[in-house]
Structure 1
Amino acid sequence: MAEPRNRYSTVSLILHWGIAALVVTQIALITASDATEGPISREFVSVHKAVGLSILILTLVRLGWRVANPAIPLPQGNPRWQRLLARATHVLFYVLLIGMPLGGWAASSAAGREISWFGLFNWPLLPLPQSRELAGQFMNMHELGTKALYVLLALHVIGALKHHFVDQDNVLHRMIPFIPRRP
């Protein structure tokens, strides 16, 4: 009988931490945009859009990888409600990490604003009617998604820290390579 996996694959780790870094970058970019005006603010927004589309692509890759390489089960001793909460949190992460970039893309498309992908090419706009009202609705959904993402991030980090410091299990070890495995 094969030994159960106790750590995620290198591909899973790279996708997880790469997307996490890009999400933090998104927060910094939109904060910088809000703190500035004029061309520099618009440049922060332009990079924010390109990073958002990168998150969309990487999340789709990660979802495909996850389908082909299922998650490692939580430790046997975890109560059912914790396993369900962990599962729901991960599903909602996928929904938001796909939905938020799509919403931003739709808002830019409805507003008729070009999306430059890091100055390399213009991302095609979605075939939506040009409407400030429609663009505003997409942006409202995008901003609501941001609030939900903050809640999920907090739950995710709190859950990881709980596993490490309270439960003292190896859940955090599976995603952070330099944390030694506990006996």
Structure 2
Amino acid sequence: MAEPRNRYSTVSLVLHWLIAALVVAQVALIAAHDATEGPLSREFVNLHKSVGLGILVLTLGRLGWRSANPAIPLPPQTPRWQKLVARGTHVLFYVFLIAMPLVGWAASSAAGRDIVWLGLFEWPLLPVGGGRETAGRLMDLHELAAKGLYVLIFLHVVGALKHHVVDRDNVLHRMIPLIPRRP
């Protein structure tokens, strides 16, 4: 029988932490947008759109990688309900990290607002009509999803810390190899 993996692959680690950093950047970009006005504020929004589309592409790549490289199972002593919550949280992460950029992209498209990806090229708009009213409804949905994502992040971090501090297992080591592996 093969030895069970004790940490995720380098590709999984890079995608996980890169997407996490980009999500944090998204929060900072919107905060900067809200705190400024005029051209600077629009630059923050444009960068937010670019980063969001980058998250979409990276998440699709991560989903593809994950389908070929399944998650490491939680320790056998983990209660079934915790395994279900962990699984549900991970599935919802993928849903939110795909849906949020798509909804933002659809909102920009409905409003007819160009998306210039990192100043390099124009990202194509989706064939979504409805103008400002539709764009506004989509942005309301986008903002509601952001709140849902914050809840998922909280659950994810609390779960990881619980494994490390309370259960004293190696679950956190799998994603942060700098943390020493426990015997």
Question: Shorter chain as normaliser: what TM range?
Answer: over 0.9
CA distance in 1, matches of 2:88, 2:141: 20
Q: How does 1:35-74 map to 2 (within 5 A)?
A: 35-74=35-74
Give the match's secondary structure for 1:63: helix
Give the match's secondary structure for 1:78: coil
Residues paired across the two proteins, number: 183
Give the match's secondary structure for 2:7: coil
Residue 177 (structure 1) aligns with = 177
CA distance in 1, matches of 2:39, 2:130: 23
Give the match's secondary structure for 1:8: coil
Residue 166 of structure 1, CA deviation = 0.5
**Preserved contact between residue 53 and residue 101 of structure 1 (Cα < 8 Å):** yes
Residue type of the partner of 1:22? L
Residue 118 (structure 2) aligns with = 118
Q: Calculate percent identity across the aligned residue pairs.
A: 75
5+ unaligned residues in a row in structure 1: which ranges?
none
Residue 165 (structure 2) aligns with = 165
**Preserved contact between residue 112 and residue 130 of structure 1 (Cα < 8 Å):** no
Large movers: runs of 4+ above 4 Å: none
Residue 75 (structure 1) aligns with = 75
**Preserved contact between residue 107 and residue 135 of structure 1 (Cα < 8 Å):** yes
Give the match's secondary structure for 1:122: strand
CA distance in 2, matches of 1:96, 1:25: 16
Q: How does 1:79-158 map to 2 (within 5 A)?
A: 79-158=79-158
5+ unaligned residues in a row in structure 2: which ranges?
none
CA distance in 2, matches of 1:89, 1:113: 33
Give the match's secondary structure for 1:70: coil
Q: Deviation string for 1:151-178 (max 9, x for gaps)?
A: 0000000000000000000000000020
CA distance in 2, matches of 1:129, 1:22: 29
Residue 4 (structure 2) aligns with = 4
CA distance in 1, matches of 2:130, 2:147: 27
**Preserved contact between residue 111 and residue 135 of structure 1 (Cα < 8 Å):** yes
CA distance in 2, matches of 1:101, 1:133: 19
Residue 129 of structure 1, CA deviation = 1.1
Deviates more, 1:121-130 or 1:61-70: 121-130
CA distance in 2, matches of 1:134, 1:91: 28
CA distance in 2, matches of 1:124, 1:12: 29
Residue 130 of structure 1, CA deviation = 4.3
Q: How does 1:13-32 map to 2 (within 5 A)?
A: 13-32=13-32
CA distance in 2, matches of 1:137, 1:91: 25
